[in-house]
Structure formats: structure tokens, C-alpha cells
Amino acid sequence: MSDHKNSAVTEAAAIRLENVEKTYAARGDNGAVTALHSVDLAVPEGNILGVIGKSGAGKSTLIRLVNGLERPTTGRVIVHGTDIAALSERDLRDQRRSIGMIFQHFNLLSRRTAFNNVALPLEIAGLSKAEIRKRVLPLLDLVGLADKADRYPAELSGGQKQRVGIARALATNPRVLLSDEATSALDPETTAQILALLKKVNAELNLTVLLITHEMSVIKAVADRVAVIDGGRIVEDGETYDVFTHPRHATTRRFVSELTGTALPDHLLARIGPIPAPDKRALIQLTFKGEGANQPWLSILTRKLDMDLGIIQAKVDHIAGKPFGTLVVSAAAGRDQLVALQREAATLGLETEVLGYA
């Protein structure tokens, strides 16, 4: 697990959770439930941090703590130097103007046009019609909906509704944007467009974004940093490329393998065992990064070692804009051959892992 109290990150953090625990009281026959355990997490100023976990892992509780919809049982939730849990209800309402929120199901008012949905938080804040118009029209232009200002939600596609939701979240000039599964109700093409828009507003407005998701592809597309949550605990966090290329926790490895294609097919997994045998071959995963992702590693290793290597699976991808690839090969299971392969791979800058024998 990485160090969640890295001082360089924490000092420049827009959002900090310090030793946060959240327990829900017993209800009826159900006992008390602890949704978050000793969570330490920092979101650097101007970064996009993605929090990923399965359903029930504690993601939604975490984001509700940041916007003050829930208060921690213990610990502190600090947004730009303000302890959210210590605020009165009145001060919390004021604080929320600096925290934008976008939702999975858009939460638009059906009887309001796109313009008036975006205008709603400004009306609540007491701005004049002229001030509202001056703010809303550029936001609709920013999210690509300048020509849809007078359309109602029923007349908009899912992606367009989410763009309205993003514009509304930006209406009060927030410094922090919270995204709660904002793309999970959208098709892949629309998801890509919305993620590109989030990246754009992050860069152009210098917004800090905390993004909750259960999809590693979302993390890969936009996040500078990632935190993996499992059972209410942050089990791993760090820069996206580092976490993808060196996943340490079992939960992280499962998420990464689902996306990078490093998970072996079921028919092969059923035949793999941990013990070598004369009639079995070793399955070795080679990991290569950076410019090395473009090299013909199978040919290079076969030639250098004079070894028969079979290709089982291969994939090259880009994580946080940098190449990253995996290659699974089969080789003779003799100890000397495996040692020679691992030594030569290390010399070439490749990482190796023996997955088993089949």
C-alpha cells in the first residue's frame, strides 16, 4: 500500500481526508455498519483523482462526506483549508457553492430548459437576470450546447443532459468538481465525449476533480491519480501510470487485468498449476513500459536465449498518455531456462512474473 500521508501531495491538496471513519447506526434488526475505515486521502490542487471500487466499497459515502451531505464519525474532511464537518448548516450551504457536483442520472428539472437548469443555483444565490445570462450562456458554449439553451431535458440525449449537468455544476464558479458515476449511464462513445469534456474543464478552469467510478477505463482516460477502495479502506493510491503498471493490492490487480487484457482466458486458467512438471510449460508475463512497448520482444528474447517461446497473449495500451504493454509467453519449465529468461529480461528493462505451469 502506498503512503497516504505523502507530505508533498498533502500540503498542496485541495481535498484532504484525515483518518476518516464513517459508521451508520443500527437500524431495526441490522447492526451498525462501518462504511469507511481510517481513510487518508489527498487530492492535489488542479488534479483529477479517480476513486475506484466495486459496489458497496464505500465510494458514495466518501463523496457525500466531501460535499457535506454526510459527516464523518471520526476524522476530518478538509476542502481548501475548511473542515467541512465543523461547519454549521448555514456555513455549509455557503461552502457548497465552491463545490460543484455532477450525478449519474443527471438530476435535471424536467420543466426547466437547459438554460434554466444551469441558472438554478444562480437564482438561489440571488443573482439578477442579467448576471445569470452573462454566466449561463458562456457555460453552455463551453459544454457544446450553445444551440440547445431553450431545449427541455426530454428533448436532449443522455450525453447532452450530462453536459447540462456539468454546466450547472460550474455555474457558481466552484474550485472543486465532484463526479459521482457521471458516465455509467452513457454509451461508450458518449462516455468518451463526457470524459474529454471533464478533462477540458479541468485544464481550462484549473478545477480539482474528484471522480467516483467502478470502471478502470474511466480512470485510464482522465485521472492524474487513482485511489482504490475496497471494504471501506483505501488499499492503494498513487499516480495513475504507476498504479496501472505496478499494481500491488489484489483488488487493484483485478481492476487492471480487466482493462489491460492481462487476465488469462478461463480455459487456460483451469489448466494452470503452481508446480512445474516435465509435461508442462511455464507461463511468464513480461511487462514493458515507455518506448520499450514498441520493441519486438519475443523475437529479441528468442534470438538472444536460443529458446523456444510461444506467444499466449499480448497487448499494448496507453496509460496516462504513456505506452504500456504485456506479453504472456510459454517456455520450457526447467529452472535454468527460467532463470536465464528472467535475467535477460531484467537486462532489457522488462519485468517478469511466472504465472504458473500448464
Domain boundaries, the chain: 7-98+174-259, 263-357
Q: For residue 36, what pLDDT is reported?
A: 96
Residue pair 16/10 in contact by the 8 Å Cβ criterion: yes
Least confident of 117-131, 208-222, 276-290: 276-290
Question: In the CATH scheme, what is the homologous superfamily, with its name and number, of domain 7-98+174-259?
Answer: P-loop containing nucleotide triphosphate hydrolases (3.40.50.300)
pLDDT exceeds 80 at position 140? yes
Mean pLDDT, the chain, rounded, equals: 89
What is the model's pTM?
Answer: 0.82
How many of the other CB atoms lie within 10 Å of CB of 319? 20
pLDDT higher than 60, residue 10? no
Beta strand segments in the chain, E: 13-24, 33-44, 48-52, 74-79, 82-83, 99-103, 176-180, 208-213, 225-230, 233-239, 281-289, 310-319, 322-332, 351-357
Residue bearing the bigger pLDDT, 127 or 290: 127
The region of weakest confidence among 9-13, 76-80, 84-88, 341-345 is 9-13
Query: What does the pLDDT read at residue 9?
Result: 52
For 22, other C-beta atoms within 10 Å of its C-beta total 23
When pLDDT is averaged across residues 177-184 and rounded to a whole number, the result is: 93
In the predicted structure, residue 258 carries a pLDDT above the cut 50: yes
What's the confidence (pLDDT) of residue 262? 63
pLDDT at residue 351 tops 80: yes
> How distant is the alpha carbon of residue 70 from its chain centre?
22
In this prediction, residue 1 carries a pLDDT of: 43
Provide the pairing of β-strand 225-230 with 233-239. antiparallel
pLDDT band at 296 (very low <50, low <70, confident <90, very high): confident
What are the DSSP calls for 226-279, one per residue? EEEEETTEEEEEEEHHHHHHS--SHHHHHHHHHHHS-SPPHHHHTT-BSS--TT
Q: What is the CATH number of domain 263-357?
A: 3.30.70.260
Q: Are 224 and 240 a contacting pair, CB within 8 Å? A: yes
Over pLDDT 90: what percentage of the chain? 61
Q: Given this model, what pLDDT does residue 295 score?
A: 81
Q: What is the mean pLDDT of residues 235-263?
A: 86
What pairs with residue 175 in β-bridges?
none
Q: Across residues 305-317, what is the average pLDDT?
A: 86
